């Protein structure tokens, strides 16, 4: 059963993660540009690591990135929930489910940790495309709503608590992970760089225009086929 003590402990852990990210990453905003920079340490064990938000993202490009994330959501959902879709999925109920959201009965740890992890991936994806923190949060909300009302109704009704848990907790964790990634990337050793990629896998990607994302589901194999086109 969900208790106040369990919720408080979980929120405290998330808050500590958020605080740790800021304390390790010692970031400062460049005057006039809004860009974030990790400061170089006097010991020379660190180097500059920058995140430069773009100011030239057109509305059409933003919707394109939203579509890419929506495609990724479908791909992951089809691959990971294929048996559930076969047993309970139906497009006949798709619209009916979407019109009747309700509170799900998942355990608190599943709701909080799973959806916080999913939300931070949304947030970090949009940050990797050059969005500032606030804009990335707004589009994280959009991607969360897209999943709840335009994907998951294939098998179940949208979850009311997931509508706010995913983007809010996801952004908090995403900010903490991003700052931890800044910290590890700024150090000049490959184990730390590896940790930087683990905390934020989207730092593997340069500024790019994506090609395609397609699920592969057959009797012998289930996976995701991803194509990338870099300029």
pLDDT at 38: 42
pLDDT at 218: 55
Of the chain, the percentage scoring pLDDT greater than 90 comes to 33
CA 127, 151, 68: angle at the middle one, nearest 5?
A: 35
Asked if residue 45 lies in contact with residue 188, where contact means CB atoms within 8 angstroms, the answer is yes
Output 10 or 195, whichever has higher pLDDT: 195
* Numbers of helices and strands, H then E, in the chain: 9, 5
What is the rounded average pLDDT for all residues in the chain?
74
- Average pLDDT of span 198-204: 87
Lookup result for tokens 């809004």: 34
SS3 224: strand
Token pair listed for 74: 């479908």
CA distance 147 to 153: 9
Q: At 18, is the pLDDT very low, low, confident or very high (cuts 50, 70, 90)?
A: very low
pLDDT at 143: 97
Condensed to tens digits (0 to 9), the pLDDT of residues 159-197 reads 998 999 999 999 999 999 998 988 888 887 889 889 988
Does 37 score more than 80 pLDDT? no
Of the chain, the percentage scoring pLDDT greater than 70 comes to 66
Go through 161-174 and write b for each residue having 16 or more CB atoms within 10 A of its CB, e for each that does not. bbbebbbbbbbbbb
Edge-first strand order for the sheet with 36-38 is: 27-29, 36-38, 49-51
Q: At 206, is the pLDDT very low, low, confident or very high (cuts 50, 70, 90)?
A: low
pLDDT at 114: 87
Does 43 score more than 90 pLDDT? no
CA distance 37 to 15: 22
pLDDT at 44: 54
Condensed to tens digits (0 to 9), the pLDDT of residues 47-64 reads 666 667 788 889 999 999
Output 81 or 226, whichever has higher pLDDT: 81
pLDDT at 66: 96
Asked if residue 115 lies in contact with residue 162, where contact means CB atoms within 8 angstroms, the answer is yes
Give the highest mean pLDDT range of 31-40, 148-157, 202-211: 148-157
Output 102 or 30, whichever has higher pLDDT: 102
The phi, psi pair for 82, rounded to 5°, reads -60, -40
Indicate whether this model's pTM tops 0.75: no
For the chain, give every domain's residue range. Answer: 4-229
Does 17 score more than 50 pLDDT? no
Neighbours of 184 (CB within 10 A): 22
CA distance 79 to 87: 14
């Amino acid at each position: 059963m969900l208790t106040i003590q369990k919720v408080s402990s979980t929120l405290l852990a998330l808050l500590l993660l958020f605080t740790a990210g800021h304390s390790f990453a010692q970031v400062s905003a460049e005057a006039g540009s809004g860009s974030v920079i990790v400061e170089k340490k006097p010991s020379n064990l660190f180097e500059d690591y920058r995140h430069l938000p773009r100011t030239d993202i057109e509305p059409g490009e933003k919707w394109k990135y939203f579509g890419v994330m929506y495609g990724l959501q479908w791909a992951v959902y089809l691959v990971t929930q294929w048996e559930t879709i076969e047993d309970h999925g139906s497009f006949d109920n798709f619209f009916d489910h979407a019109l009747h959201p309700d509170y799900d009965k998942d355990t608190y740890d599943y709701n909080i940790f799973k959806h916080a992890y999913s939300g931070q991936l949304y947030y970090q994806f949009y940050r990797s495309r050059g969005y500032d923190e606030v804009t990335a949060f707004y589009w994280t909300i959009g991607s969360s709503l897209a999943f709840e009302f335009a994907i998951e109704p294939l098998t179940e009704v949208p979850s009311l608590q997931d509508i706010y848990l995913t983007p809010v907790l996801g952004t908090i964790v995403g900010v903490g992970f991003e700052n931890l990634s800044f910290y590890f990337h700024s150090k000049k050793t490959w184990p730390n760089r590896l940790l930087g990629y683990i905390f934020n896998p989207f730092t593997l990607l340069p500024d790019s225009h994506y090609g395609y994302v397609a699920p592969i589901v057959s009797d012998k194999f289930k996976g995701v086929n991803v194509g990338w086109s870099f300029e």
